[in-house]
C-alpha cells in the first residue's frame, strides 16, 4: 500500500490554502465543487477575466454553440440549471414584454400554472417546485407518486403557461408518463414543454422529441465552470433571456463563465468519449478486483439508471459478515485522510456506489487501497449504525446548518 504522498495526486492547491483534500467518487456534487475542468476550459475562463466584452455578443456565440450541441434553434447560459428552470418558466409567463418581466413574481397573471407529474417533484439540492414558485409560477401537480395518466395531465394544463418534465435518477422511475406522450398532450393544448435534463449526457434527444426548452448543467459531466445551459425554441429562449432585466439578475453568469462554458461545450463535441470511458472502466475493474475476496462484500459494475453512457461500481455490504453496514462504511470513507466521498444515496438498501467520472491522476489507486483498508477492518468505523444512516440522510442540510456555528 502506498503512503498518501506517493499516489501522484496533486494536492498543492488544497495544502497551500489550508483546505481539506477531497477524493470524489460520488458524482457531480455542488457541495464538492461540481466537476473539475480541463486546462483548455480553465484557460478560456482565465482569458476572459482581465478584459471587457459585450455580454450579448458572448451570449450570441453561446447560442450558436448550444444550437450545434443540442439541435435547438437557440440558447443562452445562466448561473445554473436551477436558474435555467426558473428563467424558462418566467419566459413562458411573460413572453417578450419587459413590463411583465419586471412585474414578476406577483404579476404573473392568472394563467401561471406549470404542470408537473408528482413523481417528478424531486429535490436536486433544492426542491424543483421552488424553482417554479420563485418566479410566480404555480405548480399544477398531477398524478400520484408512482402513477400518471393522460387525463390528469390534460386537467393540469388548464390555466398553465408551461409544463415541466424532469429526466433524472432523482425522479420516480416507474409509472411515469413518457416524454413523447407528455409533449403530445401539452402541445395539443398549446402549452410549451420545458425539460430539466441537468445531468443527462443526451444533449439532442429532448429537443428531437419535441421539447420546447431543454436545460443542462454546464458544470456536471460537461466539465465547465458553474453554469446552466438553456436550449430551445428561439422565441422562448429570447423570453427567458429577457429575465436578466428582472428576476434573472440574481442568477447572473459572468463573462468568464460564459467563455469557459463555450469552451467546455466545444470540447464535449470534440472529445474522445471512448478513451474517457475506457479509463473509467479500468478504475472500476481495479476496484472490483480489490474487494473481490473481502468477507461480506460483493461488488458489480452497473449501468447508469437513466442510460447515461457510464457505469458505477455497486458495493453491497453484508453487515453480519463485514462487521459494519454500508452506511457505516460510507461515513468511514468520508473520515479517511484524504476524505473519500462515496455515493451513498441508497445506503439504507445495503449498498453504496463508486462513481469513476471525477477522478484526477493517481486517485483511482488511492481509492483502491482505501477500499481494501476500510472494508476489511471494521475498526475504521467509528459511528453506530443508526447515526450513520442519519448522517447520510441529513448530512446535506446539516452541513449548511453547522457552517460557522
Ligand X SMILES: *Cc1c(COP(=O)(O)O)cnc(C)c1O
Contact residues for ligand X, defined by CB under 6 A: 30, 80-82, 124, 166, 168, 170, 196, 198-199, 217, 228
Taking the complex as a whole, the smallest distance from the CB of residue 206 to ligand X amounts, in Å, to 12
Nearer to ligand X, 9 or 230 (CB): 230
The single residue listed with the C-alpha cell 453480519 is 320
Q: What is the distance between the alpha carbons of residues 125 and 79, in angstroms, rounded to a whole number?
A: 15
Taking the complex as a whole, the smallest distance from the CB of residue 398 to ligand X amounts, in Å, to 20
- Please provide the DSSP assignment of 181-209 as one string: HHHHHHHHTT--EEEE-TT-S-SSHHHHT
Nearer to ligand X, 120 or 368 (CB): 120
Q: What is the distance between the alpha carbons of residues 271 and 266, in angstroms, rounded to a whole number?
A: 9
Taking the complex as a whole, the smallest distance from the CB of residue 200 to ligand X amounts, in Å, to 8
Nearer to ligand X, 83 or 380 (CB): 83
**Contact at 8 Å (CB) between 62 and 68?**
no
Taking the complex as a whole, the smallest distance from the CB of residue 167 to ligand X amounts, in Å, to 7
Helices (H), 118-227: 128-133, 150-156, 179-188, 205-208
Crossing angle between the packed helical segments 39-48 and 255-270, to the nearest 10 degrees? 150
Nearer to ligand X, 262 or 388 (CB): 262
Nearer to ligand X, 30 or 144 (CB): 30
Give the CA-trace dihedral at 105, 109, 185, 230, to 10 degrees: -30
DSSP class of residue 88? H
Taking the complex as a whole, the smallest distance from the CB of residue 224 to ligand X amounts, in Å, to 10
Taking the complex as a whole, the smallest distance from the CB of residue 334 to ligand X amounts, in Å, to 21
Nearer to ligand X, 128 or 388 (CB): 128
Q: What is the distance between the alpha carbons of residues 286 and 283, in angstroms, rounded to a whole number?
A: 5
The DSSP bridge pattern shows strands 311-317 and 351-354 to be antiparallel
Q: Which residues contact 10 (CB under 8 A, 6 or more apart)?
A: 360, 361
Nearer to ligand X, 131 or 153 (CB): 131
Nearer to ligand X, 170 or 389 (CB): 170
Taking the complex as a whole, the smallest distance from the CB of residue 250 to ligand X amounts, in Å, to 13
Tell me which residue of 226, 237, 234 sits closest to 261, measured CA to CA. 226
Taking the complex as a whole, the smallest distance from the CB of residue 227 to ligand X amounts, in Å, to 7
Q: What is the distance between the alpha carbons of residues 292 and 275, in angstroms, rounded to a whole number?
A: 26
Q: What is the distance between the alpha carbons of residues 197 and 217, in angstroms, rounded to a whole number?
A: 8
Phi, psi for residue 335 in degrees, rounded to 5: -105, 10
Nearer to ligand X, 218 or 323 (CB): 218
Q: What is the distance between the alpha carbons of residues 298 and 54, in angstroms, rounded to a whole number?
A: 55
Crossing angle between the packed helical segments 81-94 and 234-242, to the nearest 10 degrees? 100
Q: Which three cell numbers stand for residue 364?
A: 483511482
Taking the complex as a whole, the smallest distance from the CB of residue 124 to ligand X amounts, in Å, to 4
Amino acid at each position: 500500500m502506498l503512503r498518501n504522498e506517493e499516489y501522484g495526486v496533486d494536492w498543492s492547491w488544497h495544502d497551500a490554502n489550508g483546505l481539506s483534500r477531497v477524493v470524489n467518487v460520488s458524482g457531480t456534487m455542488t457541495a464538492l465543487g461540481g466537476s473539475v475542468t480541463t486546462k483548455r476550459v480553465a484557460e478560456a475562463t482565465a482569458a476572459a477575466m482581465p478584459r471587457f466584452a459585450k455580454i450579448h455578443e458572448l451570449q450570441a456565440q453561446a447560442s450558436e454553440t448550444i444550437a450545434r450541441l443540442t439541435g435547438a434553434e437557440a440558447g443562452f447560459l445562466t448561473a445554473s440549471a436551477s436558474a435555467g428552470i426558473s428563467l424558462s418558466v418566467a419566459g413562458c409567463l411573460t413572453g417578450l414584454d419587459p413590463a411583465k418581466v419586471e412585474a414578476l413574481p406577483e404579476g404573473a397573471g392568472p394563467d401561471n400554472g406549470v404542470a408537473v407529474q408528482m413523481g417528478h417533484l424531486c429535490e436536486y439540492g433544492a426542491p424543483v417546485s421552488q424553482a417554479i414558485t420563485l418566479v410566480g409560477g404555480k405548480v399544477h401537480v398531477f398524478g400520484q407518486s408512482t402513477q400518471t395518466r393522460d387525463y390528469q395531465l390534460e386537467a393540469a394544463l388548464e390555466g398553465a403557461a408551461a409544463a415541466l418534465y424532469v429526466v433524472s435518477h432523482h425522479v420516480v422511475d416507474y409509472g411515469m408518463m413518457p416524454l413523447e406522450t407528455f409533449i403530445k398532450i401539452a402541445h395539443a393544448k398549446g402549452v410549451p414543454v420545458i425539460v430539466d435534463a441537468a445531468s443527462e449526457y443526451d444533449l439532442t434527444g429532448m429537443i428531437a422529441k419535441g421539447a420546447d426548452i431543454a436545460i443542462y448543467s454546464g458544470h456536471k459531466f460537461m466539465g465547465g465552470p458553474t453554469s446552466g445551459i438553456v436550449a430551445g425554441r428561439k422565441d422562448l429562449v429570447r423570453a427567458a433571456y429577457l429575465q436578466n432585466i428582472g428576476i434573472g439578475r440574481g442568477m447572473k453568469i459572468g463573462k468568464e463563465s460564459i467563455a469557459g462554458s463555450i469552451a467546455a461545450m466545444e470540447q464535449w463535441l470534440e472529445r474522445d468519449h471512448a478513451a474517457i470511458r475506457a479509463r473509467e472502466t479500468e478504475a472500476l475493474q481495479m476496484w472490483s478486483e480489490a474487494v473481490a475476496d473481502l468477507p461480506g462484500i460483493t461488488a458489480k459494475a452497473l449501468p447508469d439508471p437513466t442510460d447515461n453512457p457510464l457505469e458505477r461500481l455497486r458495493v453491497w455490504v453484508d453487515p453480519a459478515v463485514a462487521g459494519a453496514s454500508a452506511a457505516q462504511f460510507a461515513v468511514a470513507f468520508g473520515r479517511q485522510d484524504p476524505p473519500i466521498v462515496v455515493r451513498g444515496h441508497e445506503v439504507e438498501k445495503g449498498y453504496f456506489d463508486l462513481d469513476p467520472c471525477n477522478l484526477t491522476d493517481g486517485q483511482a489507486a488511492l481509492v483502491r487501497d482505501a477500499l481494501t483498508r476500510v472494508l476489511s477492518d471494521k475498526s475504521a468505523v467509528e459511528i453506530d449504525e443508526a447515526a450513520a444512516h442519519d448522517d447520510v440522510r441529513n448530512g446535506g442540510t446539516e452541513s449548511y446548518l453547522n457552517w460557522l456555528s
